[in-house]
Amino acid sequence: MIATARHEPDGFSELVVRMLTGLHEIKVEKQAVQAYRKAPLTELRLVGEVLERASPPQQGPDTRLEWWRTVGAVMRHVLDRRQGPAVLLRDLSPHALHALQGAMSVVRIAPLPIRTRGGLSVETFVEAEMWFPLAAYAVLLLLDENRHYGDLFGCCKVCGAFFVVPARDRPGPPERTYCSPEHRIQRQRADAIARVHKHRAKPRRPR
């Protein structure tokens, strides 16, 4: 965390409110957060871009803006399989829900027909001039029980990066915990070392 950043609250509602109403407190970052000039994105592409920008770098110092760190903290809650969307929505405060709804008021959503090999597909495109409403929409898309976008992304326990869950070529649950086999091995080694230290730290029984 950068030296000027304050301690981030742990609660999901508090993080959502901070993400959507705290821009006036980070004036240095406001211009960068508002600088969005890309073409409209599909819903899934939008979620992917928000997660990519919110991910910490896998190497080198963390150079993310404080606001994107907050977005990353929100997304970690959303993608935490132990909590699940139902638990998060149950605990979402009225203030946080109002902040999400307010941010959505400046998002433009348009269904557009796209030609395919088989005929026609209607895609939903999203556009806004600032990142914070797009991040709000990405949160809502991941919480939507009908879209299941959250099943497509994971968060690495080693580096904290968000990633697309790879398709499995054999039976079993998909890999949502580590972004690479190297990070899985790294975590397993660290856990093994921790178990050894814990075992050695136990007081020995007198003989």
3-state secondary structure 53-119: HHCCCCCCCCCCCHHHHHHHHHHHHHHCCCCHHHHHHHHCCHHHHHHHHHHHCCCEEEEEEEECCCC
- Domain-embedded: residue 166: no
Per the structure, the count of domains in the chain is 1
Could you report the per-residue pLDDT of 102-160, keeping only the tens digit for each? 888 888 999 888 888 889 988 889 988 888 888 999 999 999 988 889 999 999 988 88
Residue 117 lies in a domain: yes
Q: What is the pLDDT of residues 101-115, one digit of tens each?
A: 888 888 899 988 888
CA distance 110 to 98: 23
Domain interval for residue 46: 12-153
For residue 191, is it within any domain? no
List C-alpha distances in Å: 77 to 22, 46, 71, 150: 19, 18, 10, 11
The answer to whether residue 206 sits within a structural domain is no
Is 172 domain-assigned?
no
